[in-house]
Each structure stands twice: as structure tokens, then as C-alpha cells.
Structure 1
Amino acid sequence: MDRVTSMAVFVRSVEDGSLAAAARHFGLSHAMVSKHLRGLEHSLGVRLLTLTTRKLVLTEAGENYFRRCAQILSDIEEANREAMQLQAVPRGLLRLTAPVAFGEQYLAPALADFLDRYPEIVLDVELTDRFADLAGEGFDLALRVGRLPDSSLVARRLGTSPMLTCAAPAYLARHGTPAHPSDLAAHRCLYLSSVTTPGEWWYEVDGGPVTVRVDGPLRTNSVALACQSAREGLGIVFGPAFALAQSVAAGELVPILADFASGALDIHALYLSKRHMSKKLRLLIDFLASHFARPVGTNGV
């Protein structure tokens, strides 16, 4: 039999001074209440109470056990109440991880708005370009841009970031501006191994998809390094708008091949399970989906 239920039946019987009253409280038969009490005594190997025609009499062991059980049941009730309050009023810690450039430029203002709305939630944010182990490292949520590894994690698409092809004005002045994706074969190209197939960029040409083979002096998984290298005039970069938009707005990079669509990278929220998801985590995911509804890196997102 369930030990906690048996303890609750024992405490109620003592408090009410009657097995019949305990039976009415729990909606049990008199025989079932007696069975719970006998089960406790059998498992403990001691007599807890003596039944007389007029009242229940606790033994010395029963008195000690009653006090401890009453405290344990009170602690359980308090724990249940606290857990339900966390669902009613979102509060407490959420741990999440996100890519560095995306987190610094676009996630930070979103989280500031979220915390203004839910001031009793505390966020612990780790920015890293590696794929974190959510369960092993204790994260509630991971945000990822681009290709997702095969895993058992639940993925929810939050939004997209268009792909841009850009170069520094100085590079274009020295090497010329490509007019067609096929011209990239003659240029120094910097590519992100974390978001594209190494050495392959993709465009729509004459209404159909075309993959262009590129080569150049730099291959990296760091969006920041690729962007900085392009600003320095090292070559042409192909990357998500969230990483390049600020440099374009500042005139440090110039978009090229704008007549040839190059698709977009998906932004996903990854988490362990939909079952028993905390209210605060659900609120955060819904908030981010709304915040990133527009393509990220365009129109000042």
C-alpha cells in the first residue's frame, strides 16, 4: 500500500479520534482504514495505537511516529503548494544557451523585454557556438540557428534569418563586384562551416536552385570571425542577416548578388520534452516565437 496515504490515514485517525471519521474524510471504508493502520504497524514492527470502545490510545512509539508523520505530511503539502504557485505565477530560474553573435545582437533585447514582463523569473544565459548537452549540463532551453543535429530533443521553429552575400567596399574596389553567382569561382570566399555545407553556397537562378562551389582563405564556425574578416577586406562572406546586418547598416559591408535569392536559416528552440513543461519555460518559448516572427536581421529586428 502507498506509505504516504497510510501515514495520512493514521494522522487523520489520531486527530479525529476515530477510524470512522478518517474513513469519511478519505472516502474509504472502515475496513480499508483498518487495513492501512495494520499495514503501517506490520511494516514498522511496532504497535502504534490501541482501540478501545471509547477512543484511540497511542502507544509511546505511536506518539513519536504521529509527530513525525504530521510534520512530513505538512512538508509535502507545502511542497505541493509551492510547486503549484510556480505554475500560477511564473518565477524561478531558467537556464538557456544560444549562439554568441545571435545572442549578443538579437537575443539580449528580447530577454530584457521578457524579464520586464515577468520580473520574478531569473535567466542564466550561456552564449556559445557549440551544441550544448541540455540534460547533462542542466539547460532548460537551447536556441540554434541553421542545421540541427539528429537528437531526441523537441524542436520548435521560432523564425528565420535571410542569407546575405556581402563584401567590404575595399575588396570590391580591388577585385570587382560579382554580377552572377557563377562569378564567385574567381573570388576569395569566406565561409561558415556551422551554417552551410563547406565550400557550397546556394542561390536561385532562373527560378531554380543552384549550388555554387567556392573557395578562399578562411573557413570557420565563428560568425563573428567571418564577419570581421570580410570587413577587413579578406574576401566575400555568405552568412545570416542577423550576423551581417549591422555591418551593412554601417557601410562596412555591401550586399551583392541581391537579385539571386539565397534562402534563409531557421531559428529553433530546443528543449527536452513537452510533458510537464514548466509555465515559465512555455512563456519564454512563446515570447521568443512572437519576438522573432519577422525575419531576423531585416527592418531593424
Structure 2
Amino acid sequence: MLPYMAAFAVVVETGSFIDASEKLGVSASAVSRQISKLERMLSLRLIERSTRHLKVNADGVKVYYHCKELLRFSSRVFDLKDELGQPQGLIKIAAPKMMNGTLNQLMPEFLRRFPEINVQFIFDGGQGEFISDGVDLSIKITDSPPLGLVARKLFNVDFTVCATPEYINFYGVPSHPSELAGHSCIAIADKSGGKQWEFANEYEKVEVMVSGRYCSNDIEAVLKATLNNLGIACLPSAATESDLSMGRLITVLPNWKYVGSSQGMAWLLYKPNKHGSQRLKVLVDYLIENFYGVGC
């Protein structure tokens, strides 16, 4: 009976026996016979036929929805290959561009562990939005993860304002965020700008518009520009840790906390119906395990 139901669903969706036959790979007469057999088994007429047209009647519409639902559930048997044995298949990940370096650092080991999994990254300049149904996993930096998705914590993203000793010796060190307006600042900027920095301490909150001769939406590019004495930058703390410890950079405004965009908790997000995917499960577990030691 299942083949008849499948044929009926395709006929309804294509609107003709000929188009359905091309999609099913059988003759139009064979499709017509399958529909007739289904009608006899149900003791119902589902389609009103004429020489040129066919029309699904009210009973046919009801049967069609049940056929589609049954076929949808039956198709899940093919997902079992992803849950049994070696995880396999493609995983598409949407992530903020600022996490490019860290994710590329982590992926070689993951791909060695799971040789039948392929990974495709889609990096954007913002928050790693869920781009489409084709995206399996999204990484988003926010204090409020969106409803309707499974949300797993990765790490907290903090920023450090810094510059080279050479820049500070020549231009001086700002003692208040408002003084950044008089400095050359290197912004992590995409199409939306990124040149308004916000700071807070226990007494006040300050917004300042910064400017400079160089900006980029790439973290590594901003870091290199900072190391080349082009100005003061506000970078993810993990990106500056090594250079700060080696003295190549020094912290600016240490008594102020950057509270602007792209800071907060980084979350792994995926749709609830994806929880059964073995390939997605092993990647989520791997990222949660390894991000604590790497950061971004």
C-alpha cells in the first residue's frame, strides 16, 4: 500500500499523471493504476479525472495529508545510518567571523577523529545567525539565546583594550574612555560599523565614537595592525593573551570593562529535531570539551 500512497502524494503535488510518472520513473498508465488500486483499497474516490485535467476532491485532500505524514516518518529510516556505526555526513556551521581562527585551529583534530564527517563553515561579520534550514549548528554571542532552539554554553567572551608600548610612549595613554576619541583606534568593523565603543565601571557607563585610519572585520588583521603601532584596539581577550604576557602589548583603561557588541556568552545553537544526529552530537561534545582550553 505504501507505494500507492507515495504515487498518490506525487500526483497531487505535480498535478498530473505524466509529471508524476517522470518523477517516479514509471509510465503514466502505471501511476494511474496505482491510484486506482489505492481508491479500491480505501473504497473512496480521491481524484476526479477528465481527458485533460485531474482534480483532487475533499476526501483526496484528507488522504493526501495522511500520505505525506506517513512518508515523512518512513523517510527517517535513512537517518539511521547517521546514528548507527561511524558518524558520517556533512555538518554546516554558521559562526561569527571573530571565531574563524579558533574553529580552524580545532577542526583538524576533529576531522582526524571522525574521517567520515565533512564540515562546512559559514563565517559572517556578526553574531553567527541561523542562516537557513541548511545550517545544522550556529554559534551566537548573546546574553539571551533565541527561543525554540537547543542552547549549549561554550564560553564567555571578554574584550581587552590594548596598544603597543611604542604607540603609548609616543601618543600617551588615555585615562578615561572619552579620551579614545583623540586617538587612532583600530576597530573590528563590518558593514554595520563597529566604531562605537561602550565601557562601564562601578560608577558610570560611557559611549565613545572612535576613529582611525585602519579597520577590519578580521580579528587577526586588527591584531597585526595593533602590533604594528597603528593605534589602540579592542580585541577578544584570548586573542591578546600571548602578546600581553610577552610585553608586545599593554592593557589600556584596565579599570574599565568593555560592554559593547560581540561580548557576552557564546552559545552553540541547533534545532531540537537535530538532537538525534550522531554526527552533530559528536561535534557539539567536541566543541564544548575543547573551547574551554582554547577560547576565541
- TM-score band by shorter chain is 0.5 to 0.7
Counterpart position of 1:158: 154
* 1:216 correspondence with 2:215: no
RMSD: 4.2
The yes-or-no answer on 1:292 pairing with 2:278 is: no
1:124 deviates by 2.4
1:261 shift after superposition = 3.5
Which residue pairs with 1:123 in the alignment?
Answer: 119
Residue 200 of structure 2 corresponds to 203
Change (3 A) 1:267 1:259: same
Percent of residue pairs bearing the same amino acid type: 24
The answer as to 2:262 corresponding to 1:232 is: no
1:143·1:267 contact (CA, 8 Å) conserved in 2? yes
Letter in 1 for 2:256: F
Distance 1:221 1:101, change over 3 A: closer
Aligned partners of 1:143 and 1:269 also within 8 Å: yes
Q: Which of residues 135, 142, 148 is equivalent to 1:139?
A: 135
TM-score in terms of structure 1 length: 0.60
Whole-Å separation in 1 of the counterparts to 2:268 and 2:274? 17
Asked whether the 8 Å contact 2:186–2:234 carries over to 1, the reply is: yes
User: Aligned in 2, Cα 1:261/1:276: closer, same or farther, shift over 3 Å?
Assistant: closer
Residues of 1 paired with 2:79 and 2:256: CA distance?
53
Give yes or no for the alignment of 1:94 onto 2:91: yes
Distance 2:131 2:91 in 1: 12
Specify the alignment match of 1:268 in structure 2. Answer: 267
Larger gyration radius, structure 1 or structure 2: 1
Report SS of the residue matched to 1:258. Answer: coil
The CA deviation string for residues 77-105 of structure 1, in whole angstroms up to 9 with x for no partner, is x976552231133222212233445222x
Measured in 1, the distance between the counterparts of 2:284 and 2:177 equals 37
Aligned match for 1:189, one of 179, 185, 190: 185
Displacement after TM superposition at 1:128 (Å): 4.3
Task: Indicate if the aligned counterparts of 1:102 and 1:242 stay in contact, CA closer than 8 A.
Answer: no
Deviations 1:192-249 (A, max 9, x none): 3469963222132xx2452241422245433334323322222111121243334435
Instruction: Tell whether 2:102 aligns with 1:111.
Output: no
Please state whether the residue corresponding to 1:139 is helix, strand or coil: coil
Note if contact 2:157-2:265 (Cα within 8 Å) is conserved in structure 1: yes
Partners of 1:177 and 1:249 in 2: how far apart? 19
Against the structure 1 CA distance between its residues 235 and 288, is the aligned structure 2 distance closer, same or farther, given a 3 Å change threshold? same
Q: What amino acid maps onto 1:279 in structure 2?
A: Q
Q: State the secondary structure of the residue aligned to 2:273.
A: coil
Partners of 2:221 and 2:164 in 1: CA distance = 14
Is there any run of 5+ residues in structure 1 with no aligned partner, and where?
A: 8-34, 45-75
* One-letter amino acid matched to 1:39: M
Q: Indicate conservation of the 8 Å contact 2:100/2:123, yes or no.
A: yes
The aligned residue for residue 65 of structure 1 is none
Q: TM-score, normalised by structure 2?
A: 0.61
Contact 2:164 2:229 in 1 (8 A): yes
Q: Aligned pair in 2 of structure 1 residues 247, 214: CA closer, same or farther (>3 Å)?
A: farther
Which residue of structure 1 aligns with residue 2 of structure 2?
A: 4
Alignment correspondent of 2:239:
243
- When structure 1 is superposed on structure 2, of 152-161 and 116-125 the one drifting more is 152-161
How far apart, CA to CA, are the structure 2 residues paired with 1:259 and 1:295?
Answer: 25
CA distance in 2, matches of 1:134, 1:212: 31
| 2:41 counterpart letter in structure 1 | G
Distance in 2 (alpha carbons) for counterparts of 1:79 and 1:95: 21
| Consecutive unaligned residues in structure 2, runs of 5 or more | 6-36, 47-71
Deviates more, 1:91-100 or 1:147-156: 147-156
- 2:180 partner amino acid: L
